[in-house]
Structure 1
Amino acid sequence: MPSPDLPLHPSHLFTRTVDARAAHFVRPGDTDRPTWAVYEDTCYLGTVHAQFDSGRHWHVQSLKEQHLRLDDAVRALRRPATWPADHERVGRWARNVLADPRLVVLDVQTTTLTEPWAVQIGLTDRHGNVLFNEHLNPLADVAPAATALHGITQQRAAAAPPFAAFVPHLAQLMHGRRCLTYNAAFDRRVLERELHRYFRCTTRARAWLGKSTWADAMGPYATWKGLWSARHRSYRCQPLGSSYEAVTNCRLLLTTLEQVR
């Protein structure tokens, strides 16, 4: 089986644009195997191979890595020289986070991605033990596209208590603790909206959130993976492999940090 993004009729020479920058692939003249040297302008980046195992990976020879997508193999070859130090720094960060005895891990499922309200909040401790797992009535419509992801219907959400019913308990669980999330900006925005509705005051909502120390794993995980975007001159954010269930996502994030540490 060919690699999923191998050109249909791969030639000895072809060009592929990855993140708005051309990568040129040159097959050595002494082989007809799916092997190409990769150049950017006249700079040699490295060599990639397809179909050498199950046929569904691109092997990056110099890095001794494999990637499902050819574009990601090119991004790995484009890593800046600082990546080894960046990689080690993220490992230290992950070890520090996981060693915190007061760590809590948070995930929020919502009505939609734009102007979202919470329909489920999950919290675990640093060992993945459940501290909080509740469905919420968002007092708003649940978008069908959101239901298709997390499975929480309008009817199920309408039967649950509203966010306001849990504010004191969430404060007991979160305040004074380090709160780990994946994409903290989104989760904080959802909670701030809910708290603003509860307090009717932006200042009080932000003060409530400020009683926790927030740690976002999304940027560090992107750095650890090391897939460089030439367009944005930064490491590309990576999907966590979400199940769209709050507690499952908390545990998945902990498992991911165990790999990073």
Structure 2
Amino acid sequence: MSTATATEAEIPAGREEADPERVARGKPRGHIGGLPVFGWGKAPLYLRTQTQLGQERLKLAEGQQPLAYVHTRDYGDVPLYDPAGAVKMKPLGSKTKAAMRARRTCPECGKVRQYVVRRQCLVCDRKAQQARTRLEARTCWDCREAFPRPLPKEHHRCGGCRRKQLAERRRKAVEWVERVTVCAGKNCSVKLVTKKEAREYQQRQGLGWASWNRAAHWPLRCPPCTEAEEQRQAEQRAQWEREEQERRAAERRAAVARVRWAAEALADPLVVVLDTETTGLHSEARIVELAVLSSGGEALLDTLLDPGEPIPNSEIHGITDDMVAGAKAFSDVLEELTGVLAGKRVLIYNQWYDTGVLRHELVLHYRRMGFREPETAAEAWLDTLSVEDVMIPYSDWVGEWSDYHGNNRWQKLHGGHRAASDCRAVLDCLRQMGRGAAAYTEELERETHV
């Protein structure tokens, strides 16, 4: 194995000049472990990469070290070896040669190529593409019928389809002339432009077009129709302005109603706020914490519940299996919950979710109690509640519009994902909404008076 580096110029015996294949064709761009790193095409010609050695049926000898590196864009710095120090590979078996030959054989022409053929070789693929191009030149663009000779390049249509195309263009040209020479008013036949002038203007644009522009100085309607159109547009604008004023007034009334609703809810002793924490967001999630607070913030019910199954998402609310171990089940607090909610206005942030998990717990409870129709019993219990949602009014009060959903974006409840703290966060939302109730009412009355 040669120990000379790639930068040394080796001079064979009997010669005075250096072997050009063993001389670098450029200066190295750097070094790796003391070995030069050449740019592409600058390394000595006799050096080979491991892939190039394999193409020459050579492989690296045991312990053979590189003499230099070549920098490539895709593979980085690739080591270069002296082929004199490599060893020959063992001859391939007949089965291996046959398999390699089969992979390089084109199924179309049967010739063996120097690359792996997937579907067909590049020569056959190029011929097929040329055949498709010739066929497309002989195929009519309308009827898709192929003819013996190429069709005219300007329209790519057969005689029959070309005549139909020209007839359709003539029909459109005649319709356009008829349209621009007559008043555009409804049921009006007043002539505004002569057909001769229209045809001349059409010809100047080119008859090969599918449509033509109207001359800027041509009137669109006669004076009576123009006056009627202006009156119609004025009536539409007035109607739109009335509808816009009514819409804004309705929005203002709805905003005042939301503010009043929040202020009244805070002052109503019959208002309670309910929230739950669960084992997940699916329809069969179990309740792990339940809280009910009064409108003044007093905790009427605040307890952990044993769901009877592992809690998979404890990192969201922080409630673990150890925390609910030994806690009451939902059935144990159902009587107390019923008494707390009896005759009250129950406010929930996103009522569809919390009523859904309550419905699931009630169905399981009544099923264990032996009810024939636990679903009906659960619905009957929920029907006794007077539930009001807070999320939609609060999101409308914030007014963060979403073009994607077509309404105001739902606001997150920043309560820390614990039942009691979420109930207090709901009360904070009501305080924010109801803080300007008096000002909103005075402003609405002032606008109504004006």
When normalised by structure 1's length, the TM-score is: 0.66
Q: CA deviation digits over 1:54-104, x for unaligned, max 9?
A: xxxxxxxxxxxxxxxxxxxxxxxxxx9565443222112212322321111
**Does the residue aligned with 2:302 lie in a helix, a strand or coil?**
strand
Tell me the CA shift for residue 162 of structure 1: 0.8
- Structure 2 residue identity aligned to 1:195: L
1:206 pairs with one of 379, 384, 388: 379
1:179 pairs with one of 341, 346, 350: 346
In the other structure, the counterpart of 1:131 is 300
Distance of 1:107 and 1:129 partners within structure 2: 14
Distance of 1:174 and 1:230 partners within structure 2: 38
Distance of 1:175 and 1:142 partners within structure 2: 30
1:238 pairs with one of 397, 411, 431: 411
In the other structure, the counterpart of 2:433 is 260
**Does the residue aligned with 1:176 lie in a helix, a strand or coil?**
coil
**Does the residue aligned with 1:215 lie in a helix, a strand or coil?**
strand
Distance of 2:411 and 2:252 partners within structure 1: 18
In the other structure, the counterpart of 2:37 is none
**Does the residue aligned with 2:363 lie in a helix, a strand or coil?**
helix
Distance of 1:187 and 1:254 partners within structure 2: 17
Q: CA deviation digits over 1:140-180, x for unaligned, max 9?
A: 2211xx31121111222232111010111111001221111
- Structure 1 residue identity aligned to 2:269: P
Residue 325 of structure 2 is aligned to residue 158 of structure 1: yes
Which protein is bigger by CA-based radius of gyration?
Answer: 2
In the other structure, the counterpart of 1:111 is 279
- Structure 1 residue identity aligned to 2:356: R
Q: CA deviation digits over 1:188-222, x for unaligned, max 9?
A: 01111111111120111111112110011000011
- Structure 1 residue identity aligned to 2:422: N
In the other structure, the counterpart of 2:9 is none
In the other structure, the counterpart of 1:218 is 391
Distance of 2:310 and 2:355 partners within structure 1: 20
The number of equivalent residue pairs is 180
Q: Percent same amino acid among aligned pairs?
A: 34
| Bigger fraction of residues in strand | 1
Q: Which runs of 4+ in 1 moved over 3 A?
A: 80-86
- Structure 2 residue identity aligned to 1:251: R
| Bigger fraction of residues in helix | 2
1:99 pairs with one of 267, 270, 290: 267
| Conservation of the 8 A alpha-carbon contact between 1:83 and 1:226 | no
Distance of 1:238 and 1:191 partners within structure 2: 23
- Structure 2 runs not aligned, ≥5 long: 1-246, 368-373, 435-450
**Does the residue aligned with 1:231 lie in a helix, a strand or coil?**
coil
In the other structure, the counterpart of 2:309 is 140
Distance of 2:419 and 2:403 partners within structure 1: 33
Q: CA deviation digits over 1:96-133, x for unaligned, max 9?
A: 32232111110100011112110000111110001011
| Conservation of the 8 A alpha-carbon contact between 2:415 and 2:424 | no
Distance of 2:344 and 2:424 partners within structure 1: 18
**Does the residue aligned with 1:141 lie in a helix, a strand or coil?**
coil
- Structure 2 residue identity aligned to 1:103: V
Distance of 2:422 and 2:341 partners within structure 1: 18
Q: For the structure 1 residues 89 and 259, does the alpha-carbon distance in structure 2 shift closer, same or farther, using more than 3 Å as the test? A: same
